[in-house]
Structure 1
Amino acid sequence: MTTTRSQLLPQALRFLGHRKRVLLKLGGWSLLESAHTFLGGYGVAMALDRGFLAGRTGTGLAWLAVAALAVVIGGLATGGVFRGLADLVEPLRDGLVRRVVRRSLDQALAEPAQAADSSVVSRLTNQTEIARDSFAGLVLVARSFVFTAVGALVGLAALAPALLVVVVPPLLTGLLLFLATLAPMAARQRDFLRADEALSAQFGSMAQGLRDVVACGAGAPMAAQTHALIEQEARAARSLARWAGARSLSLGVAGHLPVVLLLVAAPWLLRHGVTAGALLGALTFLTQALLPALHNLMNALGAAGTRLLVVLGRLSPGPDPGPAAPEPGGTPEQPGHAPRRPGVPRVELRGVTFAYGPGAQPVLRGLDLTIEPGEHLTVVGPSGIGKSTLTCLLAGLLEPDKGEVRLHDRPAHAQAGRGADLSRLRVLIPQQAYVFTGSLYQNLLYLCPDGASRSAVDAASEAVGLGPLVHRLGGIDAHVDPATLSQGERQLIALGRSYLSPAPLVILDEATCHLDPAAEARAERAFAQRPGTLIVVAHRISSALRADRILVLDGLNAACGGHQELLDHSPLYRDLVGRWHAERN
């Protein structure tokens, strides 16, 4: 749980309590600012009443000089305020940096096997700077408003107490209205930030797993989940805008209504002894001092205050639960139900040529290949030779420049826009497996439009070797955070999901490269025994030895056959097998 406002308040009071000397210095300079406010309005009033209206031009100019001197005093006070402010905010930034470093080191020592937290850099740089700047802005405007208000109200009382009767009620009403909007405004701001983070996390996870999302026909449910998150953020933004409107109303009541009432009540005030100079001085206090200070205060508390609260909550000890993951649709438990697999497709490549660009050398050239229903084919070749390109062509993610790739006697790429057919026909697992935040059960049923029974899920988990991970996480309903899983654990979840899917064609593009040889062998044997066709891009020679046939890609000519046959007739295959043996030894 993140640090709450009730926890932050005592911390803030302790921080300020240790810096009483700095606060006294700020208070002293701020008193000069209040004197500047007082002399500005009072000097204008006296210049009019005792000078120009009384026929004493020299006296009027002298009082205007006093008002001008107040501006100089205000400038000196502002410089002193900023020097004192630096003594207050820099220790805050240093303390936050120490806290982030200490927290990160403690986490690294407690969980040495855990992946490095890349967000530390953001917390050390961007977020601590946001906290420092926001805190400085809040201190600056809050202090300015308090002392400006004191100077202005004392000035109004000195000119004519009746002015307070007109000015103070709407000022207090607007301030109370504004204070009433702070808590809801902060809550709406937090909702908006969480919705924005959830949407960003969704886009980030989809970008990482885009290839298998498209290949497995999961585009429609992912689009629905993303649309729901977009709508959630839009609702939060609209709610935030409504409360921002309420804040603007409070600014109008506190800042502008006193001016209007002062003008409306001018005849009454004049009848009760208020002079024209006092009225002008009161307008000067309101328009040149109170209204700007109030406007800055409301903007700072409404924006910088909320931002500071959120950032301090993230920098304080305690993990952030993060945005909630969307629930994948169509995955309820259905007792006694197992995925239904359609007929196993015949896969044909007819004269397939593909290049990444008009002027590029073809990655595949005139490739002819037929993969019979139920066959286990392994693809081998040097890095960059076109193995992953071939899997993308089989999955319909790429369209050949020449020739055809056909599944069930239909073009493979023609199915790319029909998500439901795709997820039931083929599934592609790449090297970087896609796992989303949610329960392990939801992840495993991700490619099962009709659901599956718990017994089927347990059987799939046992088949691919997912059992130890299920036990470590706390069961099939345990929460999954992809950031806390290793690459191999993410691959095991993707393997279990694909094993459980109804797709009769499974394409493993080095999908076991992060597993140890024993785990890899277990997973591949499970898929080989699973009804359907299996195509494996090999990561080890053992994968080739387990296949019915082996396809060797060399960029110009492809060779296909059994292990011994290729050893006899393919120099490239002999070389690859020799390298694999050398690496193993």
Structure 2
Amino acid sequence: MLRLAGWSVLETGQTFLIGYGPARALDEGFLRGRADVGLFWLAVTGVGVLVGAYGTARVYAAVAALVEPLRDRLVERVVSRGVRTGDAGSLSGLTQQVEIARDTFAGLVMVSRSFVFTAAGALAGLFALAPPLLLVVGPPLAAGMALFAATLRPLARRQETFLLADEALAGHLGTVCPGLRDVTATGAEAHIAAGTGERVEAELRAARALAHWGVLRVASLTIGGQLPVVLLLAAAPWLLAHGVTTGALVGALAYVTQSLLPALRNLIHGLGTSGSRLTVVLRRLARTDTEAPDPDSGPGPAGTATNHTAPPPALSLASVTFAYGPASAPVVQDLDLVLPSGAHLAVVGPSGTGKSTLTALVAGLLTPSRGAIRVGGHPVPGPQAAAERVLIPQEAYVFGGTLAENLAYLRPDPVPEEELLAAAEAVGLTPLAGRLGGLGARVDPAALSAGERQLVALTRAYLSYAPLALLDEATCHLDPETEERAERAFAARPGGTLVVVAHRISSARRAGRVLVMDGRSTAYGSHEELMRSSALYRDLVGSWAPAPARRGSEPALALRDAYRVDAVAGPRLAGDGRHVVAHRPVGQVQAPGDLRDGGSLGREG
């Protein structure tokens, strides 16, 4: 700081001479017919400019010595945080945020230092030329600075609000645009459009507020830097009558136009824009360094407690409540849930109790009325949470293209054929791929059965990088053997977490934990625990028991269906030609032996 101040004194000398030298050249030289004296003072001014330029060069070195230690400390904090907790934002902090902080801080030091020493040199020069000049230049300069200082904090807040709104909109669009096909397939157009519209309106409001305060910034520059020029010209007769010489008046105009106005402009634009940017970045870097992964306050229903060194849970819900209208009864009420990474959860319950609503809330397609949802420690909705989960709905989406294109749709990078084949084998798609003619075969979605489309969608989700898989009755058109194979494949993914909205009791038996939903009330535990503690779960299980020797009919879970439909599901049923599957509110008539993939004949029963 002392070196910086010392070298800045040379710039102060340059500022002093830029008005004082020409004034003396006029008053003592050219106006008196002494050209040699005038040229001498101009030469002195030129030497002062050269000396000031040398001082400016040395100032940059002093600023570097001040700024680089700040950068080093920020880098040390970001790296320490990344190594200690595996923070995913460390790379962004090193490559962008630290560099932004360093460059912006250096710019702020330069403009602030320049204004302070320039103003000091100019005011000293005005006093040396003629003290009355200070009466004309000083008050508007002080008023402009006071107005700018009063607007600095509100302007910085609005600048930060605008930056955050812009980042939120960009992140939202970055998530939505690549998934437009999925949005259409799941019927979420209205929800996505409403969420996008809210972010656009938020950025518009932030931009308008920033523009309103920006007007005051322009006003402070006008008052402090441009009004003195007008006042000097208007007060010229009065100044000349009170002993101010012509050269002193010209020198005063040089001080204002060549020194004070540029320095004030740089200060206002630098602090008004770069200052708020530096504030945003430093807050984020400080938050990255001090915040631990988001721990839940105590153990949740899964009995899992987190601490400052543990990774965040794969899924956490805190007092989540949701209703489909202001006057509607909540479908989900005060639900708390914590799932660690690698967990396997089955969600069961009668129809209409909120099972699919729960998956939509976790996926960000619905917004809870109250409470918070986090996926991988990231808030829902949000681009980071969206990247951590994949949703497979009941009605699977397949588009016209090759089978390989369908399977690799959720991967941003090319997927090797070996990986596609391995995923198809794990999920159970290999026989279908063979019938279609291989991975390069063209797919006609209309020619595939509902079960075949589900197998394609399941393999696509299996190949995605998202660690949390949400299966919203995504296997309801599959036979029990294929369903079991697919669920076990998802449960075995390294680091993967599986949430299954189950329609067969065997899905609940395979899961490590089961969530029973019955409107506002829920029960949570293992299969054995719920058999002892939950009457509803015992009712759902009914009298079913596994029979390895003979695979017979397996009741679906929705035995308390609101439509009073008796559920029958399973392959190769003979005899009666009218069977009903319980995966829809209204059962569909199906031909014998056609229950493996749930293909409908189109008649309702």
TM-score w.r.t. the length of structure 2 is 0.57
Secondary structure at the aligned position of 2:290 is classed as coil
Q: In structure 2, do the counterparts of structure 1 residues 354 and 235 end up closer, same or farther at CA, with 3 Å as the change threshold?
A: closer
Aligned partners of 1:275 and 1:506: how far apart in 2? 99
Report 1:505-520 matches (<5 A). 513-516=489-492
Q: In structure 2, do the counterparts of structure 1 residues 138 and 122 end up closer, same or farther at CA, with 3 Å as the change threshold?
A: same
Aligned partners of 2:4 and 2:279: how far apart in 1? 23
Structure 2: runs of 5+ lacking an equivalent:
295-320, 332-350, 355-394, 408-426, 508-554, 560-568, 573-591, 597-605
State the 1:99 CA deviation.
Answer: 1.0
CA deviation map 1:443-489 (0-9, x unaligned) = xxxxxxxxxxxxxxxxxxxxxxxxxxxxxxxxxxxxxxxxxxx955x
Aligned partners of 2:158 and 2:209: how far apart in 1? 7
Question: 2:504 matched to which residue of 1?
Answer: 525
Aligned partners of 1:188 and 1:353: how far apart in 2? 44
State the 1:308 CA deviation.
Answer: 1.0
State the 1:525 CA deviation.
Answer: 3.0
Correspondence for 2:131 among 161, 173, 180 = 161
State the 1:280 CA deviation.
Answer: 0.4
Aligned partners of 2:406 and 2:266: how far apart in 1? 63
Question: 1:141 matched to which residue of 2?
Answer: 111
Q: Is the 8 A contact 2:502 2:557 kept in 1?
A: no
Question: 1:422 matched to which residue of 2?
Answer: none
CA deviation map 1:365-391 (0-9, x unaligned) = xxxxxxxxxxxxx9621797799x99x
Correspondence for 1:125 among 76, 79, 95 = 95
Report 1:138-537 matches (<5 A). 138-207=108-177, 210-316=180-286, 317-319=289-291, 330=324, 334-335=328-329, 339=352, 355-356=401-402, 380-381=429-430, 432=461, 487-488=466-467, 490-491=468-469, 494-495=470-471, 498-499=472-473, 513-516=489-492, 523=502, 525=504, 529=556
Question: 1:89 matched to which residue of 2?
Answer: 67
State the 1:406 CA deviation.
Answer: 9.5
Aligned partners of 2:10 and 2:19: how far apart in 1? 15
Q: Is the 8 A contact 1:85 1:136 kept in 2?
A: yes
Aligned partners of 2:500 and 2:167: how far apart in 1? 39
Q: Is the 8 A contact 1:504 1:531 kept in 2?
A: no
Secondary structure at the aligned position of 2:490 is classed as coil
Aligned partners of 2:406 and 2:98: how far apart in 1? 51
Aligned partners of 1:169 and 1:176: how far apart in 2? 10
State the 1:80 CA deviation.
Answer: 1.1
Correspondence for 1:77 among 50, 55, 67 = 55
Q: Is the 8 A contact 1:548 1:562 kept in 2?
A: yes
Aligned partners of 1:65 and 1:152: how far apart in 2? 19
Q: In structure 2, do the counterparts of structure 1 residues 335 and 521 end up closer, same or farther at CA, with 3 Å as the change threshold?
A: closer
Q: Is the 8 A contact 1:428 1:506 kept in 2?
A: no
Question: 2:571 matched to which residue of 1?
Answer: 548
Q: In structure 2, do the counterparts of structure 1 residues 213 and 304 end up closer, same or farther at CA, with 3 Å as the change threshold?
A: same
CA deviation map 1:183-218 (0-9, x unaligned) = 111110111122123223322443565454322111
Aligned partners of 2:9 and 2:399: how far apart in 1? 81
Q: Does 1:36 align with 2:59?
A: no
Q: In structure 2, do the counterparts of structure 1 residues 362 and 216 end up closer, same or farther at CA, with 3 Å as the change threshold?
A: closer
Question: 2:384 matched to which residue of 1?
Answer: none
Q: Is the 8 A contact 1:41 1:282 kept in 2?
A: yes
Q: Is the 8 A contact 1:167 1:262 kept in 2?
A: yes
Q: In structure 2, do the counterparts of structure 1 residues 127 and 383 end up closer, same or farther at CA, with 3 Å as the change threshold?
A: farther
Aligned partners of 1:431 and 1:504: how far apart in 2? 17
Q: Is the 8 A contact 1:512 1:520 kept in 2?
A: no
Question: 2:308 matched to which residue of 1?
Answer: none
CA deviation map 1:296-351 (0-9, x unaligned) = 111110111111111111111334999xxxx999466944876399xxxxx9xxxx
Correspondence for 1:48 among 26, 31, 42 = 26
Aligned partners of 2:260 and 2:399: how far apart in 1? 75
Higher helix share: 1
State the aligned residue count: 402
CA deviation map 1:479-513 (0-9, x unaligned) = xxxxxxx955x32xx33xx35x9x99799996874
Structure 2 counterpart of 1:239, one-letter code: A
What is the alpha-carbon root mean square deviation over aligned residues?
Answer: 4.8
Q: In structure 2, do the counterparts of structure 1 residues 362 and 525 end up closer, same or farther at CA, with 3 Å as the change threshold?
A: closer
Aligned partners of 1:353 and 1:202: how far apart in 2? 24
Aligned partners of 2:236 and 2:250: how far apart in 1? 10
Structure 2 counterpart of 1:318, one-letter code: T
State the 1:429 CA deviation.
Answer: 6.8
Aligned partners of 1:515 and 1:189: how far apart in 2? 46
Q: In structure 2, do the counterparts of structure 1 residues 519 and 236 end up closer, same or farther at CA, with 3 Å as the change threshold?
A: closer
Secondary structure at the aligned position of 1:230 is classed as helix
Aligned partners of 1:36 and 1:383: how far apart in 2? 83
Structure 1 window deviating more from structure 2 (186-195 vs 53-62): it is 186-195
Structure 1: runs of 5+ lacking an equivalent:
1-22, 109-115, 342-346, 364-377, 408-412, 414-426, 434-485, 533-545, 550-560, 566-585
Q: In structure 2, do the counterparts of structure 1 residues 361 and 93 end up closer, same or farther at CA, with 3 Å as the change threshold?
A: closer
Q: In structure 2, do the counterparts of structure 1 residues 83 and 328 end up closer, same or farther at CA, with 3 Å as the change threshold?
A: farther
Aligned partners of 2:68 and 2:405: how far apart in 1? 58
State the 1:122 CA deviation.
Answer: 1.3
Secondary structure at the aligned position of 2:6 is classed as helix
Structure with more contact order per residue of length (Cα contacts < 8 Å, sep ≥ 6): 1
Aligned partners of 1:209 and 1:361: how far apart in 2? 14
Aligned partners of 2:435 and 2:178: how far apart in 1? 21
Q: In structure 2, do the counterparts of structure 1 residues 309 and 320 end up closer, same or farther at CA, with 3 Å as the change threshold?
A: farther
Q: Is the 8 A contact 1:221 1:329 kept in 2?
A: no
Q: Is the 8 A contact 2:81 2:87 kept in 1?
A: no
TM-score w.r.t. the length of structure 1 is 0.59
Question: 2:46 matched to which residue of 1?
Answer: 68
Q: Is the 8 A contact 2:155 2:272 kept in 1?
A: yes
Q: In structure 2, do the counterparts of structure 1 residues 239 and 506 end up closer, same or farther at CA, with 3 Å as the change threshold?
A: farther
Aligned partners of 1:379 and 1:29: how far apart in 2? 75
Aligned partners of 1:160 and 1:295: how far apart in 2? 25
